[in-house]
Amino acid sequence: MLNQKMLEALNTQINKEYWSAYFYLSMSANFAHKGLEGFASWFEMQFKEEQLHAEMFVKYIVSRNGKIELKPIDGVRQDWDTLLDAFEDTLSHEQKVTASINELYTLAGKEKDYATQSFLKRFIDEQIEEEENAQLLIDKLKLIGDNGLGIYLLDKEVATRKTIAV
């Protein structure tokens, strides 16, 4: 069974995961509107991944006999002028997610909740990949600059993403 402090922190993380999904859905819609279907698809995959994460937290809390407490989701930014701006926001956001997951892991250790630490390990490992992917795309976009052909080719490349990391 989860103690109250851990339960509250995990419920807060559910809200953060759903906010993240909303954030990436907004990015997907923004780039679909601008005709960059590959990037729209990439951000849609991020959206689905964040929804899956929220569901994993819900199932985990339920499995530990905890009560789910869904809270309102704050609004998100609606428009990004450039892909570079969007991926810099993505990296910044993923760094915040990493910090949040690390804080949960630390709290679980302080509370001697080793089951929760074990559950969180997969998210810690995944955050390394999330930050790396965002940084790689930032680096590519900086290299490409305003080159339309480069953006077109990168749009086609990111459209090939097929899996959701967990």
Phi, psi of 144 (to 5 degrees): -70, -40
Measuring CA to CA, which residue among 63, 48, 71 is closest to residue 116? Answer: 63
- The pLDDT of 98-120, averaged and rounded, is 98
Q: Is the residue at 75 inside a domain?
A: no
Give the whole-angstrom CA distance, residue 8 versus residue 95: 22
Q: Is the residue at 74 inside a domain?
A: no
Average pLDDT for the chain: 96
For residue 30, what are the domain limits?
4-67+81-158
Question: Tens of pLDDT along 68-91?
Answer: 999 999 999 999 999 999 999 999
Q: Is the residue at 72 inside a domain?
A: no
Q: Is the residue at 165 inside a domain?
A: no
Measuring CA to CA, which residue among 2, 1, 49, 55 is closest to residue 22? Answer: 49
Specify the CATH number for the domain of residue 99.
1.20.1260.10
How many domains, the chain? 1
Give the whole-angstrom CA distance, residue 123 versus residue 71: 22
- The pLDDT of 36-52, averaged and rounded, is 97
Question: Structure pTM?
Answer: 0.94
pLDDT at 102: 98
